[in-house]
Amino acid sequence: MSRTSRIAGAVIGMVALAGSLAACGGDSLEQEKSGSGSSAGGDGKKGTLVVGSASFTESKVLAELYAQILGDAGYSTSVTTVKNRELYEPSVEKGEIDVIPEYAATIAEFLNAKVNGADQAQEKPVASGDVDATVAALKKLATPLGLTVLPPGKAVDQNAFAVSEEFAEKNSLKTLSDLGKSKLKVKIAAGDECEVRPFCAPGLKKTYGIDVTGIDPKGVGTPQSKQAVRDGKVQLVLTTTTDAVLDGLVFLEDDKKLQNADNVLPVLNTKDAGDPEIAEALGKLTDTLTTEELAELNRKVDAERAKPADVAKEYLESKNLIKK
């Protein structure tokens, strides 16, 4: 799953939602489960909770963090991996999944399209770079669907642009505004959709005045894209804020908030997981986890081949969020 295309995908995906669910029938959740259905433990004295995960690394890590901290709080928990949001969001509404890690702006636009229709969602987006306004809009859409949205955290996974450390130092660049003011000509290593996406080349031109001369379609955050920047063949690479494999590259701050606020937050089934103790347990994690820490957990899974459950356990113990 491409995380950088979540916003557009949230709206576009809704067009196919009805058909995909109808095709899967009532067994859609079971068909898209991971083989493991892994259990995170807990003594079950407070009940049983199913934590959902999408099929990319970061979501699996977050789901394990949720499951283990809830297990420590006295719930019997298990993690179920579902292919995509089009399938898992209805499952949260129905109570087949009790808790899911989400991204504020992306889930807001997904529900905007679901409730108001894809065309209106594209004309009147509810997400922005303002996290408080985005979450407020999200809650208005989620509550009538039987969903509870918990407060967002400091960890954010959204589009980010990086340059080489040498290029940044030579041109005194710390922000995207600095790059715009420099009047330097910039070529971007990204997916070919960057040419038309409002959060990529068009947004960089409009919001920051950056002179984008072209796109090198080597992909979003791929090793090839990053190497092209290191080699000086392009000046800018599109990746994400939770990319921990930068090696000689440095992020330029999105100081004018071009990107929507995709802060990580838990979404719950209100009926089955509305207990304040659940919110309290998850809130401890939300208040602690940073973007940099989430990036490092991703790196351990992707680069070191560690298991999401193991890196989650190690992190939670290191922060004294669960008992050792």
Please give the pLDDT value at position 42. 58
Predicted confidence at residue 191, as pLDDT, reads 92
Q: Which pLDDT does position 41 carry in this prediction?
A: 57
Q: Look at residue 197 in the predicted model and tell me its pLDDT.
A: 87
pLDDT value of residue 44: 65
Please check whether the two domains, 3-156+261-318 and 159-252, share a CATH topology. Answer: yes
What are the DSSP calls for 173-203, one per residue?
-SBHHHHHHHT-EEEEES-GGGGT-TTSHHH
Domain ranges of the chain: 3-156+261-318, 159-252
The pLDDT of residue 83 = 84
- The pLDDT, as a whole number, for residue 57 is 92
- Which pLDDT belongs to residue 109? 95
Amino acid at 156: V
CA atoms within 13 A on the CB side of 225: 24
Give the residues across from 185 on adjacent strands. Answer: 211
CATH code for the part of the protein at 3-156+261-318:
3.40.190.10
User: What are the residues facing 76 on neighbouring strands?
Assistant: 48
Alpha helices in the chain (DSSP H): 6-15, 17-24, 28-31, 57-72, 85-94, 104-116, 118-123, 131-142, 165-170, 176-182, 201-208, 223-230, 270-273, 276-288, 291-302, 308-318
Q: What pLDDT shows up at residue 14?
A: 45
Cβ 304 vs Cβ 244: under 8 Å: no
Q: Which CATH architecture has domain 159-252?
A: 3-Layer(aba) Sandwich (3.40)
What's this model's pTM, rounded to 2 decimal places?
A: 0.83
Q: What is the pLDDT of residue 19?
A: 34
Low-confidence ranges of the chain (pLDDT < 50): 1-9, 11-37
- From the CB of residue 177, how many other CB atoms can be counted at a distance below 10 Å? 18
The pLDDT of residue 31 is 35
In this prediction, residue 43 carries a pLDDT of 61
Residue 45 has a pLDDT of 77
User: Rounded CA gap, 197 and 193, in Å?
Assistant: 6
